[in-house]
Homo-oligomer: A and B are copies of this chain.
Amino acid sequence: MTRIAATSAPLHPLLSERWSPRGFDPAHQLTGPQLTALLEAARWSPSANNSQPWRFVATRRGEPAFDRLAGTLRDTNARWAGSASALLLVLAETVDRAGAPRWYGLYDTGQAVAHLVTQAQAEGLSAHQMGGFDKAAAAAEFGIDPRFTPVVVVAVGRWHTADLPADLAEREAAPRVRRPLEELVLPADPPVCLQRTA
């Protein structure tokens, strides 16, 4: 089964083949070098004035910290995310050391996680970001400085649907949808003509 995005122009496969599965192989282990590569991908992301506002708590299945992080997930996520090979708590520096808001903190952290997920794709893995978790509980569990805001938990692992409950398997096979390109591109004057290759 392919889950390739339906685009009007060819995309690099790391982007067109990326999607967010719920089925992960419970026997797959993420290696140390793979975890390091994911975090290095985030590290080299761009940010406003090179402020690098992203932080991570990285856990792998089998470690106590993985179960502690999994324990903060909303039930709808907890029922599948335990099969992932790693769960990463993502934090954004939304307040700087002087106490001022860091307005680009969330934006830049989104970029860093996109780089991390792209590297996961390059490793033959899949990632699924979850906003559905108890952020206060996660911050308390790992003793997070209040300047850093919990944003998402990222599940990373090898896609594997064999063990999924029927309702999740059905969602897994549903078509991938997005707004048409025309809704994302606001008119300039004169309007930009989007040329299609297909």
Contacts and interface: CB of A to CB of B under 8 A. Distances in A.
A70 B129 CA distance: 35
Number of copies of this kind of chain in the complex: 2
A99 interface: no
A179 B43 contact: yes
A22 to B, nearest CB: 13
Interface stretch (A77-85, A115-123, A160-168): A115-123
Q: Which 5 A-B pairs have the closest CB atoms?
A: A110-B110, A32-B195, A114-B114, A65-B188, A9-B37
A interface bracket (residues with beta carbon within 8 Å of B): 35 or more
Interface of A: 5, 7-12, 14-16, 18-20, 31-37, 39-46, 48, 50, 52, 54-60, 63-65, 68, 91-92, 104, 106-111, 113-115, 117-119, 122, 129, 131, 142, 144, 151-152, 176-179, 181, 184-190, 192-197
Contact of A107 (B59, B64, B106): B106
